[in-house]
Amino acid sequence: MRARRTFDEKFKRQVIESVLSGSVSQVELARKYTISPLLI
């Protein structure tokens, strides 16, 4: 079984600000960080 990853608040804030500013799409960020687009 794979270890569960945790993300700190700073990282989460950075990802959300990127999406809200329109500079990067949800799908692009999901691919970059290998997470589901539904989590963003």
- pTM for the structure as a whole: 0.71
Q: Give, in order, the Cα–Cα distances in Å from 23 to each of 5, 19, 27, 28, 30.
A: 25, 7, 12, 10, 14
Average pLDDT value over all residues in the chain:
91
pLDDT bucket at 2, cuts 50 / 70 / 90: confident
Please tell me whether residue 36 adopts helix, strand or coil conformation.
coil
- Smallest CA-to-CA distance from 40 within 4, 20, 16, 17 is with 16
